[in-house]
Structure 1
């Protein structure tokens, strides 16, 4: 039975079959297309071989896709109740990294527990979104706009950002900071504070670069400003990426015919610089098509956020897709030489299981917001209206 307007009765909405049908399958299709494009590029740069990247990429996506569907069925109130615990666990794990983390390539970012090695910073990307969404869910509009209560979310954002930056992992720290700030803005922060914050941020860049960044991070910034000064050394990555982008032209050199990637001139061609590989082989048209897919995913996610009946759902979906959008923005700018190289991959397109896992958990949350968009979350219990 349905209510007027075609909506199912509250009890019926809890049925698994109804929930399954409520998933946005168009959204899922676009995710499959992006992951498929990534597999196509990984197949190409491996010399028309499924190994060592393309097959694993598709298997991981398939498993994570099933996980996303399962998470989409989880009641929004469960996400709400788990928000603070996930954040606290993530923060404790980041502290554990400082004490007993694995050191690799001069950075202490990984934690090994029971033979399983992972980056706690990935957990924090989800935990911060959920925790801030829950905090603002119970806050009045006036308090969210401007009040001393803003010190609490500021502290919630600053703690993981400082811990991750100390590892050091500047790219992930920037992602976490951007995610947290996006939720604060979506919650209704006063424009006066936003403009003052932007001005303070711009003014702080020179002293931050000179006195806070590690030497190698400072060199990355200097290389970004003038990569041609050391084209065979520190500027090599950006120079080769620009060559790949420019040589693709309008339609590209053709599938499997990219000289920069096929001849291994392009560094990290399967991860950080896979978008440059795409540009070389499929040109401007190929890049536009993939960016269109990304834009469609972001637009659909924002629409899902807008139709949620709960403030928690709106902020959780909005914050999650903000993380995804920042991934795309930073990687695209990095590949085009418009931002320093900070090791941020292109989500769903690049090879790598950890980032894909985090992104797909986030999409599971977004789908849960859609499936349970009529759920009114109140004091952790909630009611269906």
Structure 2
């Protein structure tokens, strides 16, 4: 009787799970395993992750299996389970961060077969190469063209039956108090995807920048934890080119990170800018207390919901690095801690794009927060929703900088249309 371990990480689902499907086809017994590593902080995602794991355990139990949960170093705990069950193979989804890559290297040194499978992206991050040479695409548009032409593997059904070895203790799921926001797990993910694709996909191109309308999919936390297969989602959303293009951006940042795993620490463009270090300004930005309404609204949405509208992310990030001159890594770290969808590739890749240190072909690009606010929140509804202090301010003035008496005189600096940027 053969036994395989399926090590879950960023693939907390049973639909279209190549590692799980392969293990169920090739082994008599399968051990679905998740290891909680205390050395990897989960930030505001802890409660969402707990719900994802509970939902995954339910799905596995419906198929005769279970989710085995352990706590500690991922490699050591996995090898303990392998020794306990006599497993000959470990199957896992391939990932791109430096942490994931180091973990994979450690597994390869163990005396057990370690097999990587796709599933985190639509197109595997090492599948596309520029025709002119190089190990990855540095510019999005040619990557998009290659991505759209690339063949895709079939979407896999969930396994009918999972046979767990007898006598193996399942272990306790993490217990974290729910903080509000979306419900975690594959069941909730598939329900939301089904409704949003039917009701909102066709209007995504026209409405995804509408701050008050909130017409984006909000599927990103589910993609981050692999509760949805990005490949399956791309196929179901094929008629919505603008939405599929966003999935391609996600893949783009993953293939950049695969080639440059230090993306969360080092500039992709090696030239270092001179950054200011102003703890007071950074704290005000983090708290949504800068005095610039559109920035404060975005930052408060982040703190309240663990999510921020995509357009607001561009505005608040550009404000931090272009207006305040603060290091993009400070902003990326704050986002990573609070965002339910925070992952290394997309979070760091997008921050570097805004900061001009990443893959933007116009590294001096800036976003004027006042112009952005008036364009994408013309009536001030988004600002009033998250900055209740401005509830009674007339439409024509709601985006004007407002004075915060708790801050030193002269801060924040007055911004006007003379500030460059779109």
TM over 0.5: no
Q: Which has the higher contact order (CA 8 A, sep 6+)?
A: 1
When normalised by structure 1's length, the TM-score is 0.29
Structure with greater Cα Rg: 2
Higher-helix-fraction structure: 1
